[in-house]
Amino acid sequence: MSMLFSPVTLGPLQLSNRIAIAPMCQYSAVGGLATDWHMIHLGGLALSGAGLLIIEATAVTPEGRISPDDLGLWSDAHAEALAPVIRAMRSHSPIKIAIQLAHAGRKASSEVPWEGGANIPPHQERGWQTVAPSNLPHADGETVPLALDEAGLARVKEGFVAAAHRAHALDLDAIELHGAHGYLLHQFLSPLANQRQDAYGGSLENRMRFPLEVFEAVRAAVPKDMAVGMRISATDWVEGGWEIEQSLRFAGELQARGCDFMHVSSGGLSPRQEIPLGPGYQVAFAERIKRETGVPTIGVGLITEAQQAEDILQQGQADVIGLARAMLYDPRWAWHAAAELGEQVFAPPQYWRSQPREHKHLFGTTRLGQR
């Protein structure tokens, strides 16, 4: 059996294979509410054969959205809009479903990518005042965020907790906290964005404090049988910024607090970043965290081929392979990988007749009751 199609556990979360669909923002919500697009998009991915699907970055407060069209979970109405999508996926697929809870911090109030993605000033239509650890903009000329005071920190933390309660009520299998890509929790971690003079800034211990408080609060808010993990940027790719040695310290602190997995990415905090792109360019970070802390990791970063994914797992560099754009380009990536590696994969019975003759045993007999 290949490792890619072998089962794995992330804390209480049991996956039938090691393919995870990473969260990908769709910028297609209305007032944070899920729309027909989410039904079509997530419904299609639920039939991919992957073991895990992580719903896109979902804002825990209105000002925490990256764009005005981001998905949200800051009210019961938002949960009600997402519920039919979850029910539909559950009805037709055994895939495990997680959600990424997020706050964009100073990178909020931005236009959608296909409209340029630029920062929208608070005085313009669709814009709002952003918040952050310190009043430092993401880039020159962008909105200067308000530094979160004690009440603001409490409001953000309460937003994460309330969204976690709603995620559990939606019968989701896991929560991933977004501590990567230059968003709020990452901003607290990096000395490039966090120049506070209080207990939440300065030393590494202080910069880790708020992200760890949020993790502890979310972990305590949901039952132990619901997995809770975190996505991090292992490095800012900027001299003097957050880097892998600090990430290892952070991983150890998360592990001590019951973190079930870490989804290891990089970059996104500063426009000064210099990223050496290449196949699997972030996998080494996942490998170090897995090896040196024992926390299960999801490895990502230009992983596009089945054998490449298999080799990463065989070499012990990660426990799960995260796919994002590759899965959008090829929503049947898992089917094709199974065919290449001589494995079986879930497909709904309506699709069984699509098996090529040379792969007539491609589709397994997994039933929906096997959750």
* Cβ count within 10 A of residue 1: 10
Take residue 104 and report the two structure tokens written for it. 């964009």
Q: Which of 183, 200, 281, 351 is catalytic?
A: 183
Take residue 269 and report the two structure tokens written for it. 């905090």
**Residue 297: closest CA among 332, 255, 256, 333:** 255
Position 212, amino acid: L
Query: What gap in Å lies between CA 299 and CA 369, rounded to an integer?
Result: 29
**Residue 176: closest CA among 249, 230, 222:** 230
Q: What is the chain's length?
A: 371
Three-state DSSP at 175 gives strand
CA 43 to chain CA mean position, Å: 18
Helix ranges (H only) for 31-75 are 36-46
Asked if residue 188 lies in contact with residue 232, where contact means CB atoms within 8 angstroms, the answer is: no
Contacts of 43 (CB under 8 A, 6+ apart): 85, 88, 89, 92
Pairing of strands 320-323, 262-265: unpaired
Query: What gap in Å lies between CA 234 and CA 248, rounded to an integer?
Result: 8
Alpha-carbon distances, residue 87 vs 349, 363, 365 (angstroms): 18, 23, 21
- CA-CA-CA-CA dihedral for 80, 84, 89, 90, to nearest 10: 80
Position 146, amino acid: L
Take residue 148 and report the two structure tokens written for it. 């979160």
By the 10 Å C-beta count (0-12 exposed, 13-18 middle, 19+ buried), 234 is classed as buried
Position 337, amino acid: A
183 as an active site residue: the answer is yes
Q: What are phi and psi of 21, to 5 degrees?
A: -90, 110
Return the active site residues.
Answer: 183
